[in-house]
Structure 1
């Protein structure tokens, strides 16, 4: 997985990479569908052990997070900050992709949180229910999904959703000239998210819609750095990933604006916050497992995660997402505290 734009992992107790969760059980792949809400079931997954006391004793135990590679840098930064205050808590974070995290880890009860760059789908809700896993949905930030091209690309600075659809749909454009006759008659080299990624799901929904399928003729990966390198090394390359990774690599590639009918709008924190960057602004989530919230160290981390979602210095300046307002953060915190009170 990519390094965090905020500098990566600096504390020795913060465990990352897929190897950190290598012993977790695997389940089948998901299908894309729409859905949201709180899960159902009795909560049969095994929670990491931990301890503290209500008077403020030392927190300790383990916390496992799976899911979105887009949310990964934010979760990393928040985990690092949490461990500055609670160094007896071990946090394992694995960027499995939103769908991979739900299917292979979270919905079979083997992770405490799943980060996601789109809402949980109906098929994932069903899988959680089948395994007795209840969950709570938390909106932690807003992202501006960013389309990138090579810095030597001098023929396009802005695209419409229809032009992007021609490039990324199955049986679509093969060359740049197929999209616009004034563009080079050269093969399009595509680099994008794997189909286990919430970024893939969101791009499909926002750009391709129900009438088209995503092309299989592209380099698919969960690793943003490989998308960046692919586009960086090919003049005719194009790719997409979360804005946070672009913000940390702005000199390496060029971000395209999107003309959704009201002129070209570049991806930025400001344009996403204002609701002007359409249709590629998207909410980001984390889903704690309700049974895991019975453990005090996990409940405290969940509260901290929500509180930090309004920390503009961390969310916006360090990572590159739109933070929650104080009002919306407090609303999320109240809802979380209600869930915690039900399980403790």
Structure 2
């Protein structure tokens, strides 16, 4: 996985062009856009799929953020939307108004990771209350130094880096930490491109940021993960902590949404089938947490039985453990 491939321009990125060659002029195209968190998985699937199809199908993958991706998806501009949170009520309404039915397919779990600069030796653990104090709207222009977070911390400027407002990571983090989605101070470096955030914290001794676990793993030589204390002591992000439910409240399911009409196109159907078949291996390869096999099997069954819609009712999935997701998905 090379996350540095993500284009800073946030337009459609042609996945794997260097490795798979220039696509034939008559290639069928599968259009994907959305979450930068889900991007590494979809990129890996797309590269392998294009190789398997010998360039007969081209897959384009954009990183407009979950919200930006759903805007395009609900206008019928894309076949698949990568999402780091469930579809929201307003997005459900937009899709319904446009006559777009969709399949909701959970594909992995993420440990949303809070990171600091490696030179930071004092903030090894932060509580949810500490993070709320830093990120809540009332902190804007006021909590600007580390010793304002905790008197034991040094007198050092606090520089913040986080997801942009079109990001599902922004929605999830603010709801899990602040208590309300999109409720955040605005005086921070924001981007839907997680590599911008990586570079910012890596260069800033007083930096603090957050993004998907895969971006931390890819850059752990220049970043330091913070243990999160959700009330039972600090827990570092890891696949094991996600699986056993101890990394809370920043563990979350991540998804792809498939346009039901697009699935009638052979190239989209083949890509989605390939995605579900290869997800367990590739999810692990790019450092996210694979779901139990019965979830991927349920996804395939959902497509076969044409069960469209969402099991989340337009709400976030904060604090949802893997077994809870499995139980809920079985109800659709």
TM-score (norm 1): 0.81
Query: Which among 23, 32, 36 is matched to residue 65 of structure 1?
Result: 32
Contact 1:255 1:267 in 2 (8 A): yes
1:147-205 CA-to-partner distances (Å, cap 9, x unmatched) read 00011111110111010011111122222111110112222100010000001001011
2:193 aligned residue: 223
**Residues 121-270 of structure 1: pairs in structure 2 closer than 5 A:** 121-172=88-139, 173-210=143-180, 213-270=183-240
Structure 1 Cα separation of the partners of residues 115 and 190 of structure 2: 15
- Worse-matched range after superposition: 211-220 or 110-119: 211-220
Contact 2:228 2:236 in 1 (8 A): yes
Structure 2 Cα separation of the partners of residues 231 and 175 of structure 1: 15
Contact 1:8 1:76 in 2 (8 A): no
1:118 aligned residue: 85
1:313-338 CA-to-partner distances (Å, cap 9, x unmatched) read x211x211101222221111111222
Structure 2 Cα separation of the partners of residues 129 and 250 of structure 1: 42
Residue 112 and residue 16 in structure 1: after superposition, are their counterparts in 2 closer, same or farther (change >3 A)?
Answer: farther
Query: Which among 303, 315, 318 is matched to residue 283 of structure 2?
Result: 315
Number of aligned residues: 293
Contact 2:104 2:258 in 1 (8 A): yes
Unaligned runs of 5+ in 2: 14-25, 309-332
1:30 aligned residue: none
2:253 aligned residue: 283
2:240 maps to 1:273: no
Contact 2:158 2:206 in 1 (8 A): yes
Structure 2 Cα separation of the partners of residues 241 and 301 of structure 1: 27
Structure 1 Cα separation of the partners of residues 63 and 279 of structure 2: 19
How far has the Cα of 1:309 moved from its partner? 2.2
Structure 1 Cα separation of the partners of residues 37 and 232 of structure 2: 27
Contact 1:6 1:77 in 2 (8 A): no
1:29 aligned residue: none
2:262 maps to 1:295: no
Structure 1 Cα separation of the partners of residues 275 and 230 of structure 2: 33
Contact 1:16 1:92 in 2 (8 A): no
Aligned-residue CA RMSD (Å)? 2.3
Residue 6 and residue 150 in structure 1: after superposition, are their counterparts in 2 closer, same or farther (change >3 A)?
Answer: closer
TM-score (norm 2): 0.83
**Is the partner of 2:102 in helix, strand or coil?**
coil
2:49 maps to 1:82: yes
Structure 1 Cα separation of the partners of residues 254 and 262 of structure 2: 21
Structure 1 Cα separation of the partners of residues 84 and 306 of structure 2: 22
2:70 maps to 1:102: yes
**Residues 48-59 of structure 1: pairs in structure 2 closer than 5 A:** none
Contact 1:193 1:240 in 2 (8 A): yes
How far has the Cα of 1:283 moved from its partner? 0.4
1:91 aligned residue: 59
Residue 231 and residue 294 in structure 1: after superposition, are their counterparts in 2 closer, same or farther (change >3 A)?
Answer: same
